[in-house]
Chains A and B, each alone.
Chain A
Amino acid sequence: ETGVTQTPRHLVMGMTNKKSLKCEQHLGHNAMYWYKQSAKKPLELMFVYSLEERVENNSVPSRFSPECPNSSHLFLHLHTLQPEDSALYLCASSQGGGEIVGYTFGSGTRLTVV
């Protein structure tokens, strides 16, 4: 399988649940990203991992907890979420460093918090 794969595609969870989003890339990239896309809002960069080390955390609430166990996998652990956290969560990867390249995105996980 090639590209960036995100699972699940859809997730409905209660505010007291704990769930995890998974992202996997088979492109040999060394940087991975989590984005949040809400209706009528710009893309929000949440976390950046480079060489498996978190290099950016854009003031994201602690109820979102990322994990990058290796360069091919990225997780977003969710707990005690709020209804306003309902959104499309996108994972992306790239070959970081000085080379000017774009990102490769997954299809996203559509999260609904009830």
Chain B
Amino acid sequence: GNSVTQMEGPVTLSEEAFLTINCTYTATGYPSLFWYVQYPGEGLQLLLKATKADDKGSNKGFEATYRKETTSFHLEKGSVQVSDSAVYFCALKTSYDKVIFGPGTSLSVIP
């Protein structure tokens, strides 16, 4: 079946550090890929998405590239801020199926 694997957290970084959160997936067909973010005390928000191979999703300084050859969708940001502290979920969806979420990676950015 379809599944999403993310790197274990928590991840702790200093402000302005480079961020990478790894995500790999297993899916039949050609899924769309997503990153969601959950700030403390809130629900999940869609951060970015990519719908086909080699697409790059970007938003708020975050980027992720859909790599079909490595079945990956790693999240990156060049310079993190304290306000980026949150839990990040990688997810996939194929047609006529529900979204499959990864377990989430907690990020803590310290000043």
Interface residues of A (CB under 8 A from B): 4, 6, 33, 42-43, 45, 48, 56, 90, 92, 94, 97-98, 100-108, 110
Contacts and interface: CB of A to CB of B under 8 A. Distances in A.
Q: How large is the interface on B (under 10, 10 to 19, 20 to 34, 35 or more residues)?
A: 20 to 34
Contacts of A45: 98
Contacts, number: 51
Given A43-B101, A56-B98, A107 B43 contact: yes
23 contacts: A4-B43, A33-B98, A42-B101, A43-B101, A45-B98, A48-B98, A90-B43, A90-B44, A98-B95, A100-B94, A100-B95, A101-B93, A102-B32, A102-B91, A102-B93, A103-B44, A103-B46, A103-B99, A105-B36, A105-B43, A105-B44, A106-B43, A110-B41
Given A42-B104, A43-B89, A102 B43 contact: no
Interface in B78-110: 89, 91, 93-96, 98-99, 101-104
Given A102-B49, A107-B41, 19 more contacts: A4-B43, A6-B43, A33-B98, A42-B101, A42-B103, A43-B89, A43-B101, A43-B104, A98-B95, A98-B96, A100-B93, A101-B93, A102-B34, A102-B99, A103-B46, A105-B43, A105-B44, A106-B43, A108-B43
